[in-house]
Structures are given as C-alpha cells and as structure tokens.
Chain A
Amino acid sequence: MKPYLALIKIDLKLAYRQPVVIFFTYLFPLVFFFGFAELLRVKQGGTISYVVSMVLVLGILGNGLFGAGMRTVQERDNNILRRFRVAPITPTPLLVASTFTGWLIYMPAVLLILLLAHFIYEMPAPDSTMSLLVLVSLGVMSFRAIGLIVASVVNSMQESNIIINLLYLPMLLLSGATFPITLLPEAAQYVAQFVPASYLVTGFQGIFLRGESLVDIWPSVVALGITFVVGLFLSRQLFRWDKEEKIRAAGKLWVLAVLAPFFLLGSYHIYSREHMKKAETLWRSLQRSEKLLIRDARIFTGDGRVIESGAVLIENGKIGRVYEDETPDPEHLNARVIEASGKTLLPGLIDMHVHLAAPGGSYSEPPRTASPEKAMGRALASYLYCGITAVKSVGDPLGMSLSLREEVSRAERLGAELFACGPLFTTPGGHGTEYLKNLPAPWRDIAEKELLRLPGDPEEARRQVRELKQAGANGIKAVLETGQAGMLFERMDTAVLRAIAEQARSEELPLVVHTGSAADIADALDAGAEGIEHGTYRETIPDELLARMAKRRTAYSPTLSVIEALSELAARSDRLLGRTLVQQVGPRGLLDGTREGLLTGGLPERVARVENWARALDLAKENLRRAYEAGVPLVVGSDAGNPLVIHGPTVHRELQLWVEAGIPPRIALQAATHNAAILLRAEQRIGSIRPGNDADLLLVDGNPLEDISATERISLVLFKGERVRRSALFQQE
C-alpha cells in the first residue's frame, strides 16, 4: 500500500506543478463550456445539459488519451521509467496511481462545470447525481486505460502522437461530443456505434435529460468497465520501462483488444438500432427543453376561458407561465419568440375514441411491408400532424398499444400521446366479434385474444379487468349493443357489465360503454359507466337519461363523424377523402384504394342493411344538442379506423359537425380538450393551458371560436414543448 500512496501523492504534486495540466484540465473545459453555452444560446432552455455532456466527454478524452497515454511515453522516452525499474516494484502501482490521480485531478473540473452550469445557466440537478459521478469516473478510468494501452504499444513519442490523434479525432467528431450523432449522415451514424466515447455522450445525456441511472445504460457501463479492466491488465503485461525495448508491429494490435467490448456493443447496436434511436430521442429531449414564448395570441385555455391577447411561456417541455395583462420581455426571459398575432392558441386536441389498428379505409393493394404496428404508429403520427396531441384507443391489440405508448412516452417515436384500453369487452356473438368472423381460424384466435374480452360470467369479467389493469391499460371499454334488423348482435349480460364496472372502479380505471339504444344507455348508467360512446342514432335519448348523465357527470361522446362516414359510404360519396388534411396525411394508397372501393366495390353489410343514414346523422346531432342543453359533460371522439373515418383529420370534422348540430365552438373545443383530459384522469397534465401542464399546444390561424374550421389551419403543433416538424412525421419507421 505504501508505494501506491507515495506514487499518488507525488503524481498529484507533479501534475499541479505543470501549467499544461492545469490548463487542459481546468481552463480548457471552461473555454469550451462558455463557448458552447454562448454559441448554442443555452439560456433558452435545458440545452445546457447538452453542453455539459459535451464538455465532460471532451475532458475525459483529453485526460485519458493525452494525460495517461502521452505522459507514460514521455517518461519512458526521458529515461524516467528506467529509474523506477531498479526499484522493487512492479508496473501495477505505477499504472494504478496514474489512473487514480487522473481521476482525482479531473473530478474538481467536473464539479466546477456542474456548479457553473447550475448557477449561471440554471441547469437542474440530475435525478441521479451518483450515476453521473460514477459514469464520469468510469469514463476517466477506461479512457486512461485506453491511453495506457496506447503508451504500451508505441515505440516513440511520434508514434504515440499519431495513434492518440487517430483515436481522439474520430471520437471527437463521431461521438456526439461536438455535434449530435442524429444530425450526421447515416454511414457516419453507423461508425459512431463503434466509438467508445459515443456511449459516454448518450450516457451523460440520458442522465441529464431523461433522468436515467446506471441501470438504464448498463451495456455502456459494462463495456466501459471491461475496457478499464482489460486495458489496465494489458498495459501491465505490455509495460516497458526502457525506450530501448521495442514492441513488434504485431504487438500494436493489442489496442484492438481494449476496444473489443465496443466492437461487440457497436455491432449489436447497428443490428438493433437501439443506440441510434436513443441518440435521436436525446436530441429530441433537448429540443423539448427549449424555452419559447408564444405572444400576442388569442388563448383558449381549454377549461372554457378565452384570453383575447396573451402570451405563454414554455420551458422544459411544460407550460411555464400564462401572461394575460402584461407583456413579458423575451430578452429577459431568454426565450425564443413565436409571434402569434391573428392566431389562436389551443391546448392540443384529444380524440377519445379511436381504433388505431383499423386503417380507416382499404387498400386496393396493401403495401408489402404493412403490419398492424406500423399502421398504429402511423396513425399516431397522423394525429400529431393534425394537432391532436392525445388519443384514447378503445379497442386495439393490447401488446402493441402498450409498446407504442411506451415508445411515445420515451420520446423514441413522435406521435400523439396514447391512452389505451386494449381489448374491448363484449360477449360471444356480440358487436366486435363480427370483424373477426371472416378471418382464418388460427388468426381469429390470435386476434380475438388481442382485441376482445368475452367474459362468460361476472367472475371472469372481474378477473379480466384486473389482468388488464396489471398489464397497464388506461381504461376499460365495454359494448352494449343489440343492433337492428338486418344486423343483430348478442348483448352483454347486465350482470357481467356490472361486474366489469365494479372491478374497473376498484382498479381506478374509467369505464366507457359503447351503446346503440336508449336502453343500452340506461343499463350502462345503472352499471356506473363514466362515459357513453355513440349514445344512439336510432332514437331520441330520453330527457330522464340525459338528466342522469348530467347529474352523475357521465361523459358523452357522440362520434358524429362515424355516422357521417357511414352515410357518405351509403351514398358512395368520396367527398370526405378530398378534405385538405386528409389529402395531407394519406397515405396515398389508402385514399386511392378507399375511393376505388367506394365507387366500384360492394358496400359493407352494415352500411347496406341500415337504410336511412342521413336521418341517423340528424338524430345523433339532435341528441348531442339536447345533451348539451341538459348539461351533460361532452367529449370529442371520432371512431377513427372505420371506413372514411381517417385518423387525425376527422377530429376537426367532428368539431365541425358539432357546431352544425348547434354546439357553440367554445363548448366543442372544451369537449376536445379539458373535458377529455378529465375523463382520461389526466387533467392535471394535459387538456388545458395552465402553468405546470405539458406543453401540448395547437396554434391555428384565425379564430376557431367564431369559425370552427379554423382548427384545420394549423400554424404550429407543440408536443411536450417540441416544435413538431410536421413534414417529417411520416418519415419515421
């Protein structure tokens, strides 16, 4: 132990006597820190953590490659190691002391940078400071090990200069330490997967921007750890005291042994694309931390209030402040300004009734790479494109829904936030089962398991609700539907419905019930449903039921769009396909195939057999108007996925139909925002413009409170603070 301590002590003293060490360890990072900070104008958001990551990686690279590598070569070349050689020690204490000292000298620089970032640029402390410090330490030690290995295999200062720069420059340019990997050409992104430093960059950014800990980035941690151990071991084995001892050319290949963990890691990541995706999401997190000021806008807050001219400050992906009477100074706030005069700012819209896996039409020739996952992901992108920042799926494959929901919430995928019920509860022969009827038997079994729950008795129903809760569902959807002449269904037993409702309540999952008739609504209310989907378009909803809904605050989602779509289908009209937003979201093949089927093909059973769709739409509108007058809480749902009910644009159509039905635009918009958030039990986070809520915002030209069609004139969509590049949304895999 004595030699170790003595060596560490002297290494420390020697380091602090070298101006070059002081400069490169402490001043150099500061220059970069302030330089990058000012260049990237970090005061406008959490970008500072990005800058800190860059500076830390630069420091670690310099400390490891130059500090450890060059110094060892220098001491060998100057015959200093020769003197140590005659002392009774092995290379181990020298190597260990060098590594430890390098770490010890670097840590104050780390703390200095963190404190400056915190106090000057208001960088929030990372969730796991421990993880950060451990990762820095691991980085320093493994890069020092790489430096030592380089020192072990070079024969002269010149050689070490070349090799160290050969390692340093690519690490600088391709690791994301100087600019984001995501912005590099694809080929360079692949190369970056083999660059050890890029795992440090994403590691730091993950800790800063996404609150990750070492556990989340364990493969990088393990790779760095292996590099450290292997590097130290090999540099001990290859240690040369004397410049006269030369290493053979083949010996230089030992460098590769140290980098081996990163060859493995890189190969895996090229295969999985996981790390590239992560770099992308980190870049996204960064954009989401931008500080923005939307000013001079008409603000519809979502909960019914309108500010005729105000401003909204967005920071770290949240709404920071809402200015009503004062005009904030963007310079003082360090915020990027979005001028919004003549525009209206709304909370992002919410569609409470979608089936993501259903396409909304038909392809004449389905794309070869089509899959339900892709279709669902694309649907979420379509919603976001249209300013709908959250959707509730009420009947979709559970597993896919949950994984999509995760991808979106981890910012790996850009799309509307997903609330998923997963499969819907119905009964054998009930509504919902008819979609599977024509599938081949093995597919039907799989589809049934993913899409439907068919409880035979109350006990089974309870168990199934419990299981969905455990799986992570956000709500429960059940079907009460008898159909009508020409298309009849088995109806769920009310005892089963009650069991579902009770279990859902105790699991704190909101239950919504698909209804087809007034009797269905009555039974759903009896059971304790929190939302009525569709209501009925076959008869008038009795006042008594509306009064009950109003009193119990049961939400009503009339889904006028799907009724309109069915009537258009019956009329073989392609009018809905020609709408501007529909033309934008496409996809082309779907629109063309649907039009073709519409004009030439046979109509679906359900459409063909029910006679008067136009009358049905009128009835539905009438029920909606009466529900509004009765004071029933309203929410907007489109039932997208049905033919002609296109994911995304239909929400705007739904709002227009509501206004046609006599609903004031303000009420319709509130139904599509704050009310929806309440039924999602997410009103503390989304659905209204107030401080602390997620910055999910829709900025439109004009005033939708006067002309509801203005919601389609989208100027800007903000999702979790990120200004969505709408044109790039459909380029995602």
Chain B
Amino acid sequence: MDSDPIIRVRSLTKSYGSLQAVGGIDFEIRAGEVFGLLGPNGAGKTTTVEILEGLRPRTSGEVFVLGFDPATESTRLKDQIGVCLQSTNLPDKIRVMEAMELFASFHSRNVHIADLLRRLQLWEQRRQYYSTLSGGQKQRLVLAMALLNDPQVLFLDEPTAGLDPQARREIHSLISELRTEKRTILLTTHYIEEAEKLCDQVAILDGGLIISSGTPQEIQNRTLGRSVVEIRCETPLPDGDLPHWPDSDAASFNADRTHLSVATSHPARTLVEIVRWIDQHGVELEDVRLKRPSLEDVFLELTGRSLRE
C-alpha cells in the first residue's frame, strides 16, 4: 500500500526580483524514501530545500512537510526535522558535547546524546573544541546535531561536499544506515555516484525546473545513454580492421592494441559477439568490464552540459 507522502511540493516557484530561481516544480516524497535532488550549482536545489525547511519564503505554490506549511509553521516544523545545511560552522571554542547539549535544548524531544555521539564515532572527541575537529568529524557532528531530535525527515544539503574520499565513504554508510531506519531523507548533491548509490528516487534539476525524475534506473533506461564494453587482453589483438558489431559504434583500441572499448545500446549482445571474436583469434582475455551510463551521462544527454560545469 502506498503511504501518504511525507513531503509534497506543488507548482513551487521562487523569484528573487526578476530572477527566477525555482520555476514551478512538483514532487512528492514518501515515508522511508531517500530522495535525491540532483543538479549543477545554481540549479535551484538549495533554494528548494531551504523553502522546505522553513528558512525561506516561497513565491508561489504549495508545500507541505510532515503536514506543516514551512512558511507559516517553521518553528514547529524545525522542531521535528533534521537539517544539515551546507557550510555551517560553530564557535571555535565550543566543545562537541556542549554543542550537542545546546542544540538539544532547543528541541522538545531528544535522543540520548552519548549514544548518538558513539554511533557517529564522536564519543572520543566529545571534549574537543570544534576548531580542532577534522573536516569529516565536523560533518559528522553536523549530522549528529541533525539527529538530536530523532527526526523522521532529514534534509541533507550536499552532505559530502569538500570531504576527502574516506570521509565521504563514512557519510555514505551513515546515510545508508539512516535509510534502513526508515527515515525519510531529502538529499541534494551534485555527485552523481552519491545519488545512484543512495537514492530511491531522483529528480534532476536544471535552471529551476525538474528535467527528469524517477528511480536512478528508470532515468537511465529512459534516456538513450549507451553502455560501454571494455576488454583487456594479455597479448595484442591482431592487426587489421575490426568487425562492426551490431547496435554498436566503431570500436577503438589503445596504442599496443591490448585494450578495446565499444559503445553499444545492447551491451549483453555486443559483449557476447566481441568475446566470441577474440576467442576466434586465440587471444587470452584478461578482464571484461561493462560500464552503464551514469546520471552524469544522462544529464549530459538531457542538457548538453556537464553536471560539474
């Protein structure tokens, strides 16, 4: 049975003077879903999220989060949600524990702070000043603070921006954990892998409009995106032209003819053909890889621009 949406957005617009940051978008997020808002900088992700969090007034449209209208009931809403904003700070000389206790005092309901710190691997750091924490620790603290009130809805705005790969992996596993706890999460990111890896539903935002939405899989399938078959051999493949495999583009080699890659719209069939052909030439296969089209490719295809532009 489909549950009622936890977050509902209808015809949402937001203008700053003559500039339209959000141009009329609709989406719904259901309980327990991880919803990804994906798009390049300036696409309207942060504006949309901040409207939902009750931090910004909207220009028009309807928004409900947990049954509250964020524009008029922001304090009650903030009490029940968890928010990680981009690039927030705390005073240098506040200790981890003090920050947790301070922000706990603002909420009407709190989880056990020590447990939360242990879970986010900050227990050892509880007496440390904020300024002495590493980037990953700071981000975990921000996440911990967002979880203080045991929120059913979490807004994570670029939670891994600027972190090193190790720290990013930690945050990813935390989000996965939160997902298993059936919390509803709205995640904005411009890291495509993050969305692919973490999200149940994705909406791609560009220029204030949703240009595509669905599960990552659906989006991929909906686009013309092609998979790439990559083959590595132990010895060079024979000289001469390669055959033209069905549904595929012309293949390409590397300089010593040990690597072969072919773009195709039917990867399974193409792969079988290529393997058969290599086998016929008595060359030993070292590795076979199939690269699916990424959201990056999808975005490129939808907009003609790269996500990171």
Chain A residues at the B interface, C-beta cutoff of 8 Å: 2-3, 5-7, 10, 13-14, 17-18, 75, 78-80, 82-83, 85-90
Given contacts A17-B93, A88-B78, contact A82 B88 (CB under 8 A): yes
Q: Is B90's beta carbon under 8 Å from chain A?
A: yes
A7 B102 Cβ-Cβ under 8 A: yes
- Chain B residues contacting A85 (CB-CB under 8 Å) are 55, 85
Neighbour of B91 across the interface among A3, A5, A80, A82, CB < 8 A? A80
Bound Cα distance from A80 to B87, whole angstroms: 9
217-271 of chain B: CB within 8 A of chain A: none
CB pair A80 B93 closer than 8 Å = no
Question: In the complex, A18→B94 CA distance in Å?
Answer: 11
Are B106 and A3 within 8 A (Cβ)?
yes
* CB-based contact A87/B93 at 8 Å: no
B-chain residues with CB within 8 Å of residue A18 when the two chains form the complex: 93
Q: B85's contact among A3, A17, A75, A86, by CB below 8 Å, is which?
A: A86
Which of B113-127 touch A at CB < 8 Å?
none
5 contacts between A and B (CB under 8 A): A2-B106, A5-B105, A14-B91, A87-B106, A88-B76
Query: Which residues of chain B are within 8 angstroms of A79 by Cβ–Cβ distance?
Result: 87-89
In the complex with contacts A86-B55, A86-B78, A88-B76, A3-B90 CB distance below 8 A: no
Q: Find out whether the CB atom of A88 lies under 8 angstroms from the CB atom of B75.
A: yes
Whether A89 and B106, one on each chain, are in contact in the complex, defined by CB atoms closer than 8 angstroms, is: yes
B76 touches A80 (CB 8 A): no
Contact check, B88 vs A83: say whether CB atoms are below 8 A apart.
yes
The distance in angstroms between the C-alpha atoms of A90 and B79, with both chains bound, is 12
Docked-complex contact A10 and B94, CB < 8 angstroms = yes
B277 on the interface (CB 8 Å rule)?
no
Assess the A88–B107 pair: CB atoms within 8 A.
yes
Encoded as 1 (CB less than 8 Å from any A CB) or 0, chain B from 60 to 90 comes to: 0000000000000001111100010101111
Starting from the known contacts A82-B88, A88-B106, A88-B107, 13 additional A-B residue pairs (CB-CB under 8 Å) come to A2-B105, A2-B106, A3-B106, A6-B101, A6-B106, A13-B98, A14-B91, A79-B87, A80-B89, A82-B87, A83-B142, A87-B103, A88-B76
Q: Pick from B91, B98, B106, B107: contact of A75, CB below 8 A.
A: B91
Nearest A residue to B108 via CB reads: A88
Q: What separation, in Å, do the CA atoms of A88 and B93 have in the docked complex?
A: 23
Q: How far is the CA of A85 from the CA of B90 in the complex (A)?
A: 12
A3-B105, A10-B102 known; A87+B89 contact, CB < 8 A:
no
- Report the nearest B residue to A74, measured CB to CB: B91
Q: Roughly how many angstroms separate A2 CA and B110 CA in the complex, as a whole number?
A: 13
**Contact in complex: B94, A90 (CB < 8 Å):** no
**Shortest CB distance B183–A (Å):** 17
B53 within 8 A of A: yes
Contact assessment for A83 and B90 in the assembled complex, using a CB-CB cutoff below 8 Å: yes
Give the CA-CA distance A82 to B145 in the complex, in Å: 13
Looking at the assembled complex, report how far the CB atom of A75 sits from the nearest CB atom of chain B, in whole angstroms.
7
Give, as a whole number of angstroms, the nearest-CB distance from A684 to chain B.
61
Task: Specify which of B91, B98, B107, B108 lies most central, judged by the most chain A CB atoms within 10 Å of its CB.
Answer: B91
How far is it, in angstroms, between the C-alpha of A89 and the C-alpha of B53 when the chains are bound?
Answer: 13
Closest residue of chain A to B88 (Cβ to Cβ) is: A83
How far, in Å, is A414 (CB) from chain B's closest CB? 56
Contact at B75–A90, with CB atoms within 8 Å?
Answer: yes
Query: Which residue of the partner chain, among B53, B78, B79, B105, contacts A6 with CB atoms under 8 Å?
Result: B105
Residues of A within 8 A of B107 (CB): 87-88
Min distance, Cβ A105 to any Cβ of chain B, angstroms: 15
The residue in chain B whose Cβ has the minimal distance to the Cβ of A77 is B89
B76 / chain A contacts, CB cutoff of 8 Å: 88
Shortest CB–CB separation between residue A58 and chain B, in angstroms?
Answer: 26
The 10 closest A-B pairs by CB, nearest first: A6-B105, A88-B78, A88-B79, A83-B88, A86-B83, A17-B93, A87-B106, A79-B89, A82-B88, A2-B105
Shortest distance from the beta carbon of A327 to any chain B beta carbon, whole Å:
60
A642 CA to B211 CA, complexed, in Å: 106
| Cβ contacts B1-35/A at 8 Å (1 or 0 each) | 00000000000000000000000000000000000
* CB <8 Å contact, A82 and B85: yes
Distance, CA A7 to CA B91, complexed state (A): 13
> Which residue on chain B has the smallest CB distance to residue A7?
B102
Residues of B within 8 A of A82 (CB): 85, 87-89
Is the beta-carbon distance between B78 and A83 smaller than 8 angstroms?
no
Contacts of A17 in B (CB 8 A): 93
Per the bound structure, the CA–CA distance linking A78 and B89 in Å amounts to 7
Among candidates A6, A86, A88, A90, residue contacting B102 with C-beta atoms closer than 8 Å: A6
Q: CA A78 – CA B92 in complex, angstroms?
A: 10
Complex Cα gap A14–B102 (Å): 12
Smallest Cβ distance from B225 to chain A, in angstroms?
Answer: 36
**Within 8 Å CB of B102, what residues of A?**
6-7, 10
**Alpha-carbon distance A85/B297, docked complex (angstroms):** 37
B89: A residues at CB distance < 8 A: 78-80, 82-83
How far, in Å, is A612 (CB) from chain B's closest CB? 97
When distances are taken between beta carbons in the complex, the residues of chain B under 8 Å from A75 are 91
CB pair A80 B78 closer than 8 Å: no
Of B85, B102, B108, the most chain A CB neighbours within 10 A belong to: B102
A87 CA / B55 CA spacing, docked (Å): 10
B278-295 with Cβ < 8 A to chain A = none
Nearest B residue to A2, CB-CB = B105
Query: In the bound complex, do residue A14 and residue B93 qualify as a contact, i.e. CB atoms below 8 Å apart?
Result: yes
In the bound complex, CA of A112 to CA of B103 (Å): 34
Give chain A nearest CB distance to B51 CB in angstroms: 13
CA distance in complex: A5, B101 (Å): 12
Query: B53: which A residues are within 8 A, CB to CB?
Result: 86
Chain B 126-158, CB-CB to A under 8 Å as 1, else 0, gives 000000000000000010010000000000000
- Cβ of B69 to closest chain A Cβ, rounded Å: 15
The answer to whether A14 and B79 touch (CB under 8 A), given A82-B85, A87-B103, A88-B106, is: no
* CB of B309 to closest CB in A, whole Å: 22
Q: In the complex, what residue of chain B is closest to A15 when comparing beta carbons?
A: B93
**Complex alpha-carbon distance, A79 and B84, angstroms:** 13
Q: Does B78 contact A87, Cβ atoms closer than 8 Å?
A: yes
Please, how many angstroms separate the alpha-carbon atoms of A90 and B76 in the complex?
11
Give the distance to chain B from A574, nearest Cβ to Cβ, in Å: 84
B185 to chain A, nearest CB (A): 15
In the complex, what residue of chain B is closest to A89 when comparing beta carbons? Answer: B106
Q: How far is the CB of B70 from chain A (nearest CB, A)?
A: 12
A76 nearest CB across to chain B (Å): 11
CA distance A75 to B88 in the complex (A): 11
The interface centre, meaning the residue of B75, B105, B108, B145 with most chain A CB atoms within 10 A of its CB, is B105
Residues of B within 8 A of A80 (CB): 88-91
A692 to B203, CA, bound (A): 91
- In the complex the two chains form, what is the Cα distance from A87 to B105 in whole Å? 10
Instruction: Please indicate the chain A residues that have their CB under 8 angstroms from the CB of B85 in the complex.
Output: 82-83, 85-86
User: Which A residues touch B93, using CB under 8 A?
Assistant: 13-14, 17-18
The CA of A78 and the CA of B90, in the complex, are separated in Å by 8
CB distance from A703 to the nearest CB of B (A): 74
Q: How far is the CB of B220 from chain A (nearest CB, A)?
A: 34
CA distance A13 to B93 in the complex (A): 9
Measured CA separation A6–B55 after assembly (Å): 23
Q: How many Å lie between the Cα of A17 and that of B79 in the bound state?
A: 30
Task: Name the CB-closest residue of A to B95.
Answer: A13
| Cα-based distance from A87 to B151 in the complex (angstroms) | 12
Contact A14 B94 (CB under 8 A): yes
Residues of B within 8 A of A3 (CB): 105-106
Contacts of A10 in B (CB 8 A): 94, 98, 102
**Residues of A close to B106: CB separation below 8 A:** 2-3, 6, 87-89
Who on chain B is nearest to A245 by CB? B56
Chain B residues lying within 8 Å of A2, measured Cβ to Cβ, are 105-106
- Minimum distance in angstroms from A72 CB to a CB of chain B: 12
Give the nearest-CB partner of B106 in chain A: A87
For A7, A14, A85, A90, the residue with the greatest tally of chain B CB atoms inside 10 Å of its CB is A85
Chain B residues near A86 (CB-CB < 8 A): 53, 55, 78, 83, 85
Chain B residues within 8 Å of A13, by CB: 93-94, 98
Give Cα A2 to B53, complex, Å. 23
Nearest Cβ on chain A to B154's Cβ, whole angstroms: 11
Q: Bound state CA distance, A79 and B86, in angstroms?
A: 10
- Nearest chain-B residue to A5 (Cβ)? B105
